[in-house]
C-alpha cells in the first residue's frame, strides 16, 4: 500500500534519500535576503524590461527593493532642425578659424605683416580652448545646452562683425581681436554634439546625430579650403 506523502512540513520528504532531501529543502526555502524583495509592476501593469534600474540596494536588512522603469528620452520632431541649426553655427565657426591661413600671402601684403602673425590668427583658437573648457563645461552642466549654444553663437557673430570692420591695412590689431572673440565661441561649440545627441535623440539615433554635429565643423573647414585664391597674388 503506497504511503501518504501529503504530510505538512519536513515530513513530506521523508522518503527522499540522504542527499536528495537537503537539496529539496533548500529549493523550497528562499535564499537569505530574497524574501524581502518586493517587485512592483511596470506602467499600466506591463512587465519591467531588462534595462530597469534597481533601487534600494545597500540598505539595512529588511529593506524592500523595487524596480524603477528605465527613463526614456522624449523625441520631438524638431530635433533634426535643431541639429541643423547647430551644425550651421559650428560650420561658420570652423570656416573663420582658417580663413586667413588659406590665403596668407594676400593678408600678409594687405596688413604688411609676416607669416608668424598670420599663424597666430589660427593658433589663438587652440590656446583659448585650454583655459576656457572647464568653465564652459560647468556652464553646460548648470545652465543647459540652450544657454551655452546661444552664448557661443553670440560670440561667433560678434567676432565676425569685428573682423568685417577691420578690413583696413592699419587695423590688424582689430582683426586679431575679432579672431580671438571667434575662438571663444569655439569653446562653446565643440563640446556640444555628444550632449545634443544624448538629450534630444533616441538610443538608436545618438551616433548618427553626434556624427552630423561633428560634421558641421569639419564642413566649415573644408569650405574654407575651397575658397579660390586671388589669381594676381
| Tens-digit pLDDT profile for residues 70-121 | 666 677 788 899 899 999 999 999 888 888 888 888 999 999 999 899 999 9
pLDDT of 69 reads: 63
pLDDT band at 124 (very low <50, low <70, confident <90, very high): very high
| Spatial separation of the C-alpha atoms in residues 201 and 203, rounded to whole Å | 7
Q: What are phi and psi of 68, to 5 degrees?
A: -105, 130
Place of cell 530574497: 34
Domain match, 34 and 103 both: no
Question: Which pTM value belongs to this model?
Answer: 0.64
Residue 182 has pLDDT above 90, yes or no: yes
| Spatial separation of the C-alpha atoms in residues 55 and 95, rounded to whole Å | 49
Domain match, 17 and 86 both: no
Bridge partners of residue 55, in order along the sequence = 66
Mean pLDDT across 164-187: 93
**What is the tally of structural domains in the chain?**
2
State which residues form the domain around 175: 79-225
Mean pLDDT across 123-150: 92
In-domain check, residue 152: yes
Residue 197 has pLDDT above 70, yes or no: yes
Domain match, 130 and 162 both: yes
Q: What's the CATH number where 164 sits?
A: 1.20.1250.20
Residue 60 has pLDDT above 50, yes or no: yes
Domain match, 112 and 20 both: no
| Spatial separation of the C-alpha atoms in residues 198 and 134, rounded to whole Å | 20
pLDDT of 151 reads: 94
pLDDT band at 5 (very low <50, low <70, confident <90, very high): very low
Domain match, 53 and 155 both: no
* Higher-scoring residue by pLDDT: 150, 4: 150
Mean pLDDT across 195-206: 87
Q: Which CA distances in Å does 96 have to 12, 37, 85, 118, 157?
A: 84, 60, 17, 13, 11
* Higher-scoring residue by pLDDT: 49, 92: 92
Amino acid at each position: 500500500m503506497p504511503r501518504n506523502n501529503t504530510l505538512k512540513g519536513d515530513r513530506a520528504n521523508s522518503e527522499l534519500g540522504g542527499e536528495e532531501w537537503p537539496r529539496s529543502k533548500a529549493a523550497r526555502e528562499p535564499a537569505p535576503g530574497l524574501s524581502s524583495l518586493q517587485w512592483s509592476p511596470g506602467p499600466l501593469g506591463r512587465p519591467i524590461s531588462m534595462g530597469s534600474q534597481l533601487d534600494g540596494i545597500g540598505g539595512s536588512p529588511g529593506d524592500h527593493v523595487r524596480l524603477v522603469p528605465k527613463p526614456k528620452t522624449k523625441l520631438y520632431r524638431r530635433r533634426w532642425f535643431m541639429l541643423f541649426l547647430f551644425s550651421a553655427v559650428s560650420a561658420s565657426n570652423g570656416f573663420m578659424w582658417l580663413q586667413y591661413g588659406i590665403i596668407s600671402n594676400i593678408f600678409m601684403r594687405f596688413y604688411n605683416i609676416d607669416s608668424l602673425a598670420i599663424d597666430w590668427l589660427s593658433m589663438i583658437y587652440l590656446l583659448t580652448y585650454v583655459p576656457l573648457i572647464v568653465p564652459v563645461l560647468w556652464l553646460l552642466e548648470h545652465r543647459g545646452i540652450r544657454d551655452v549654444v546661444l552664448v557661443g553663437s553670440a560670440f561667433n557673430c560678434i567676432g565676425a562683425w569685428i573682423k568685417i570692420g577691420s578690413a583696413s591695412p592699419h587695423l590688424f590689431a582689430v582683426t586679431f581681436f575679432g579672431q580671438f572673440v571667434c575662438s571663444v565661441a569655439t569653446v562653446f561649440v565643440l563640446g556640444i554634439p555628444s550632449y545634443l545627441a544624448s538629450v534630444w535623440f533616441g538610443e538608436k539615433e545618438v551616433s548618427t546625430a553626434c556624427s552630423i554635429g561633428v560634421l558641421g565643423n569639419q564642413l566649415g573647414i573644408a569650405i574654407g579650403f575651397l575658397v579660390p585664391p586671388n589669381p594676381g597674388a
